[in-house]
């Protein structure tokens, strides 16, 4: 009798542990999603998400192999438990650009909002942005701004892993209003000529990590917007593209600052910029600043502006606002560059063009080794910047 009780206890414990480890699974095909890329499966995806979001135990929305057409997908929380979107197939946007998106110019194509404990794993998202790029290239006007392929809004404890994003109309990934988010082992691909197709854009978010990611695009590989704190970007390869940029900042009359950003182990090949900070040339901006930035262990190959701070940024002259004649109100301080090596495609490899009314302060250069492709020394220029250089600095320091 004693042995029976012990055996029963072990069996009960095994069943309890097994039950606790199980996750509810919701295959979108079971909700009517059709592979083949011709039938809009947005409704089926919404139903599968709704069921997973209501689950009292951790749940997975599973997308099998195949191409699934989505006109738009909005996955909203809060959910009852942790949810994973596991994608083995490809999510495809509609052809053309008039039938996607929500109520605004960029409400996003695939959107997660107010979800705590989200994992997006694997798969491909194809934004099919070619039609919109062609419209913009034609220069006739009347083109919408486009849709971001993947947005994560107002969410916490999020992991995006193993995803491939191709040919987004606008940004590939936007992280806005989030805390505790990791992007890892992601690949982003778009032609160098595709306009405004930033790889990963982060704003109004904290404790974000981007790691082991390859980005080929037509704009910034990683862009950092107002209100970003405690961001770490590591082991990112960039090219083609416009580099890794903090900013642009100061476009609005009131903005939050950017603080505690580390970019380490990045590689740039043939990009417009390498490590950039850019602010609009506007004299009246409240609350905007950049401080506590570390750029380290970066490799440049044929990069036009390997290291640049540009506080006169004002594309198209600010729509007639006259901002090229103003001094930026955004204060930049405590920015350190360490172990930046490689080749510059332009004569000036280091350029600090800071604000006359708010000079850059606490700029540090250490072990900077940048030359022209020919092997000849590059140059460095400074405007309104204060700091110091140490270790081996090539080109000559302008601080």
Tell me the CA end-to-end span of the chain in Å, nearest whole number: 85
Is 56 in contact with 81 (CB distance < 8 Å)? yes
**What whole-number distance in Å separates Cα of residue 385 and Cα of residue 309?**
10
Is 154 in contact with 113 (CB distance < 8 Å)? yes
CA angle 181, 309, 150 (to 5 degrees): 30
The active-site residue out of 114, 140, 172, 242 is 242
Q: Which of 63, 72, 79, 66 is nearest to 113 (CA)?
A: 79
Three-state DSSP at 13 gives helix
DSSP characters over 175-229: EES-EEEEEES-EEE--TT-TT--SEEEES-EEEEEEEEEEE-SS-SEEE-TT-E
**What whole-number distance in Å separates Cα of residue 337 and Cα of residue 339?**
7
**What whole-number distance in Å separates Cα of residue 72 and Cα of residue 112?**
12
Question: Three-state SS across 74-118?
Answer: EEECCCCCCEEEEECCEEECCCCCCCCCCCCCCCCCEEEECCEEE
Is 114 catalytic? The answer is: no
Question: Which residues have a catalytic role annotated?
Answer: 242
């Amino acid at each position: 009798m004693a042995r029976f009780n012990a055996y029963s206890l072990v069996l009960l414990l095994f069943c309890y542990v097994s039950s606790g480890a199980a996750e509810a699974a919701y295959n979108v095909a079971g909700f009517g999603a059709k592979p083949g890329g011709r039938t809009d499966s947005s409704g089926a995806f919404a139903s599968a998400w709704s069921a997973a979001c209501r689950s009292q135990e951790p749940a997975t929305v599973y997308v099998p192999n195949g191409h699934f057409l989505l006109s738009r997908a909005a996955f909203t929380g809060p959910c009852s438990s942790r949810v994973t979107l596991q994608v083995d197939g490809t999510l495809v946007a509609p052809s053309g650009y008039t039938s996607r998106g929500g109520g605004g110019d960029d409400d996003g194509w695939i959107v997660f909002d107010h979800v705590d404990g989200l994992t997006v794993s694997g798969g491909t998202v194809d934004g099919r942005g070619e039609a919109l790029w062609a419209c913009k290239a034609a220069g006739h006007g009347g083109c919408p701004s486009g849709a971001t392929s993947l947005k994560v809004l107002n969410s916490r404890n999020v992991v995006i892993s193993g995803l491939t994003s191709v040919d987004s109309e606008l940004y590939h990934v936007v992280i806005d209003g989030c805390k505790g988010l990791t992007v890892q082992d992601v690949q982003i691909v778009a032609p160098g000529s595709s306009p405004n197709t930033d790889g990963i854009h982060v704003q109004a978010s904290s404790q974000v990590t981007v790691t082991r990611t390859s980005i080929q695009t037509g704009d910034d590989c990683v862009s950092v917007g107002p209100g970003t704190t405690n961001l770490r970007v590591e082991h990112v390869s960039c090219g083609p593209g416009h580099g890794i940029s903090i900013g642009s900042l100061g476009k609005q009359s009131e903005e939050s600052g950017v603080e505690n950003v580390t970019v380490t182990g990045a590689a740039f090949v043939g990009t417009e910029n390498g490590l950039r900070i850019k602010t609009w040339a506007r004299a009246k901006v409240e609350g905007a600043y950049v401080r506590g930035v570390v750029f380290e262990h970066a490799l440049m190959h044929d990069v036009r502006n390997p290291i640049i701070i540009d506080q006169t940024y004002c594309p198209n002259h600010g729509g007639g606002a006259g901002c090229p004649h103003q001094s930026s109100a955004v204060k930049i301080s405590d920015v350190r560059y360490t172990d930046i090596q490689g080749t510059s495609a332009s004569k000036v490899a280091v350029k600090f063009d800071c604000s006359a009314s708010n000079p850059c302060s606490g700029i540090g250069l250490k072990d900077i080794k940048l030359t022209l492709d020919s092997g000849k020394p590059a140059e460095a220029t400074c405007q309104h910047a204060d700091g110091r250089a140490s270790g081996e600095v090539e080109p000559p320091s302008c601080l």
